[in-house]
Amino acid sequence: MPEMLVDLERLVRVESPSADLAAVARSADVVAEIGEQRIGFAPERIVVEGCTHLRWHLGSPETDAPRVLLLAHHDTVWPVGSLETHPFSIQDGVIRGPGCFDMLTGLVMAVHAVAHLGHLPDAAVTLLVTGDEELGSRSSRPLIEQEADGCVAALVLEAAGDDGALKIGRKGTSSYRVEITGRAAHAGLEPEKGLNATLELAHQVGVVVGFADAALGTSVTPTLARSGTTLNTVPAHASFEVDVRALTAAEQERVDAEFRSLASSTGARIAVHGGVGRPPLEVAATEGVWQRALAVAGELGLSLPEAIVVGGASDGNFTAGIGVPTLDGLGAVGGGAHADHEHVMVEDIPVRTALLTGLILDLLGVDGPVTSRQAGTEAAHRRPL
């Protein structure tokens, strides 16, 4: 624990907002140093579109050896300078600081779990740490899918749900921008000669909201909207953006078809951009790994709460999308992701790391050190995982 807390403080203090590629590169330097110290060798550094990702391959080089992928990210949503208003601290068993919950603690857990796996002559583990997850993993998605291909499972170190709940489902995400082109005219002298893009925007917003299906868990939420140029001009251009979340790929495809069929009510031109992004992490893709986690927790004397399905997406959506069994939410217990009250409970860190280590070994079908069980026992008796 002392070493893990030292490593976590180093990561929080480096600051790594996703859009600041120089900051992400500095963060990658620190992650690489920590990983080399704990795991025993330096990672591969992979820079895609200026964004720095890190990869460790451990164990057997045989292509048919069972392999588990651990997924973490070192970018955060907090801008450089956030430490001035949200300093790193550990008080009364609670860690605070930008990105500690989402998901730097999970990253530290992954590094230390891998470091304690021992020799893996007939199995393999990949630890992939990406630098653009908070922006949608645009540059890292091909890398994630490449590393996941053929794995027996992907384990995602995103933070847990309430009370430490693991995540067995995540909604898929789609995003759209609807652009409307009308015709400008003087709003006072001859408004009738214009074609009001704002009126068309208002109509289309009402239409797309109707694509939602609450019974199936599908949400369609208009977010950003823009229209007009001056107070006295009939607006010729307008646009709005829409966030879509769905529990199944079929629902994503249905909503996508609805967007493609949008028709003007006023004669304005409509163009639809965007589409399906992250596929859903469907419960069917997690059931097997979830049952293994329950079994490992039982062996460790731990009690897992009911697993949950959440609306937010992660890189686990990508691994599940290519058919790899995936379990998410294996990281920190705490709360306040992206918020002022972001925090992590110290006492759960060894318990979660014990579970992670045991689950990796179980999935690989190999015997490992007992240190993970010893690490979790005392905390497990204090409170449920």
What digits encode the pLDDT tens for the residues 276-326?
999 999 999 999 999 999 999 999 999 999 999 999 999 999 999 999 999
Q: Where are the domains of the chain?
A: 2-170+281-382, 172-276
Q: Which CATH architecture has domain 2-170+281-382?
A: 3-Layer(aba) Sandwich (3.40)
Which of 56-70, 185-199, 258-272, 358-372 has the least mean pLDDT?
358-372
Mean pLDDT, to the nearest integer, of 197-220?
Answer: 98
* Averaged confidence pLDDT in the chain: 94
What digits encode the pLDDT tens for the residues 4-62?
999 999 999 999 999 999 999 999 999 999 999 999 999 999 999 999 999 999 999 88
Please identify every residue annotated as catalytic. Answer: 75, 133
- For 40-133, where are the alpha helices, taking DSSP H only? 105-115
Is CATH 3.30.70.360 the right assignment for the domain spanning 172-276? yes
Give the model's pLDDT for residue 118: 86
Gap between the terminal Cα atoms of the chain:
17
- Model confidence at 364, pLDDT cuts 50, 70, 90, reads very high
Q: What is the DSSP letter of 194?
A: S
Tokens of 224: 């950003």
Which of 28-32, 186-190, 372-376 has the least mean pLDDT?
372-376
* Coil vs helix vs strand at 196: coil
Give the model's pLDDT for residue 63: 82
- Model confidence at 193, pLDDT cuts 50, 70, 90, reads very high
HSE at residue 353, side-chain half, CA atoms within 13 A, is: 28
Q: Are β-strands 153-156 and 67-73 bridged in parallel, bridged antiparallel, or unpaired?
A: parallel
Residue 384 has pLDDT above 50, yes or no: no
Asked if 75 and 42 count as a contact pair (C-beta separation under 8 A), the reply is: no
